[in-house]
Amino acid sequence: MNDVITSLQNTRVKLAAALQKSARARRQERKIPLEGARLIRDALLCGHVPDFVLYDLQTADYELVAALQATRAVLMPAAPDVIKHASETQQPQGMIAVFPLPMPRMPRQPGRILILDAVREPGNMGTLLRTAAAAGVEVVLLAPECVDPYNPKVLRAGMGAHFRLPLVEAAWTEIATYCEAVTVYLAAGDAEQPYSAVDWRSPHALIIGNEAHGARPAARLNATRIAIPMAAGTESLNAAMAATVILFEAQRQHLAGPA
């Protein structure tokens, strides 16, 4: 077994800490940090292997440690204060794994696309990605001004969606070209057409706008506006909740098969 790391100046400890804090570091290194047994185990089940793992001998999940050893990942026992230094959470879970940036394969002709427009809240972004993966979305396009999808808070809220779902950051011109062959819908609280009236079995893209301001003008061009009917006097749903309602209606129709 390796010696227990006690220095905050250890090269890999410094790298893990930098990846937690800096989007630039994540882009330059093309690596992401995952904290906690659940997220790390999920990444392993998806076939991904970490570059290295920092873990606390006292609190580590040793069943997971054994699984990591089988992948020949570099395992590095570390002192609790080292784990805390490299952690992004208030209560570190005792294990931090650094993985290569996930790059799921892009479908050639996707029929179920989610487009996120300036979604800036990490928890919302993670929930949207988790919902998209669960509801059968084939690819997520991130328009400009979205929060970094590899932010540690997004990774935690995404619950492994990053390893199952292709994510593409793109300009609106690129998004328009990519979606030329599908019908594009925009979730808008004041739209007249209800989401349930759409035939979601046809190839489509759904745009979900910014949490506070909705979709920007660039997102509204050539999109059919749809709404979720709600009781009079109620506030609009937040971005993640609205997407969940619509995406699972699309999934319901998809599973039901042809009309």
User: How far is 158 from 156, CA to CA, in rounded Å?
Assistant: 5
Location of each CATH 3.30.1330.30 domain in the chain: 11-100
Enumerate the H helices of 166-238 as residue ranges: 172-178, 217-220
State the average pLDDT for the chain. Answer: 92
Geometric angle at alpha carbon 28, from 17 and 147, rounded to 5°: 75
Enumerate the H helices of 109-228 as residue ranges: 122-134, 152-158, 172-178, 217-220
Q: Give the percent of the chain with pLDDT over 90.
A: 78
Q: Give the neighbor-by-neighbor strand order of the sheet with 95-100.
A: 31-35, 95-100, 52-55, 74-77
CA 1 to mean position of chain CA atoms? 34
Span 195-223, pLDDT tens digits: 999 999 999 999 998 877 777 777 777 89
Is the model's pLDDT at 1 over the cut of 60? no
pLDDT band of residue 3 (cuts 50, 70, 90) is confident
Task: Centre a 10 Å sphere on the Cβ of residue 232 and count the other Cβ atoms it contains.
Answer: 4
The confidence score (pLDDT) of residue 192 equals 87
For 112-256, CATH number? 3.40.1280.10
Two tokens at 116? 């996120």
CATH architecture observed for domain 11-100? 2-Layer Sandwich (3.30)
Q: Give the percent of the chain with pLDDT over 70.
A: 98
Q: What are phi and psi of 213, to 5 degrees?
A: -115, 0
Location of each CATH 3.40.1280.10 domain in the chain: 112-256
CA 181 to mean position of chain CA atoms? 25
pTM: 0.92
Span 160-200, pLDDT tens digits: 999 999 999 999 999 999 999 999 999 988 888 999 999 99
